[in-house]
Each structure stands twice: as C-alpha cells, then as structure tokens.
Amino acid sequence: MKGLLKAKPRSPAELIRHARDLLMYADRNTEPRESNRREKICELHKLILETRTTLYGDDQSETVAETCAQLAHEFFKGDLLLLFIMCLPKLDLGARQDVTQVVANLQKQRINSRLIASDYMEQNVDLVDNLVTG
C-alpha cells in the first residue's frame, strides 16, 4: 500500500530544471514575505534530497548508472554548481551537507570516459573566486 502513494520520481532534467528555478529565486531573494521564501527553500531542500537519492540510492531503489550520468550532464550544463555556491549561505546546515554529498558524487561521474566536472571546472575558472568569496 505504501508504494501506491509514492510519487513518481522526476527525470534528471526535471530535477535540475526545477532546482535551477528555485536557486535563481533564492539568489534574487526579492520575496517580501519570509514565509514564502522559507517555503521555497524547503522545496529546494526536498529536491536536493531527491537528487542525492538518485545518485546514492536508498532502501527501496538502487542507483542506475545511466540516470546518474544524465543527472551529472544536466547539472553541469545548467550551471548548478555555480548557483549552489552562490546560494549556499542561504541554506540550512542539513541542506548544505546534502549539497556537499551531491557535488562530491557528481565530481566522480564519467561521461564517455571523461570526468565531466573537470571539464566544467576548466571552462569556469572563476568558480574558485566565488568559493573564496562565499
């Protein structure tokens, strides 16, 4: 019965697209009502957890190498690493830890026998400056 109520997992593209929208919202932070901002940050944390589950698996599901590779591709294509770095101070401690685990896993993902994170870092050398500033 528990399996019937579980939501269908989102595709990597949907996860990344929605996370990108929420990160851009958090970066702008123009919401006058604190409750709305907190709600969006909570939704972002749920997406981060879903992403972590996709990459590491859980009690009910195993990881799928193709899905992990697709998630890594979408993550770096969407510039989410930079957005996460910029929004990291706005997240709570648990979300920061989950982001760290997600990024650590994505750095190991190979696509066509290449580390996609290394390629991304070579193309975005200003990333370290943003890390130091943050």
Please tell me the pTM assigned to this model: 0.82
- Which domain CATH number covers 66? 1.25.10.10
Residue 3 lies in a domain: no
| pLDDT per residue as tens digits for the range 44-74 | 999 999 999 999 988 887 888 899 999 999 9
Angle at 9 between CA 116 and CA 66, to 5 degrees: 35
114 belongs to a structural domain? yes
With a pLDDT cut of 70, the percent of the chain lying above it is 90
How many other β-carbons are positioned within 10 Å of the β-carbon of residue 81? 22
List the domain range (segments joined by +) for residue 51.
11-133
CA pair distance 3, 60, nearest whole angstrom: 10
Count of Cβ atoms closer than 10 Å to residue 107 Cβ: 16
Instruction: Please state the domain count of the chain.
Output: 1
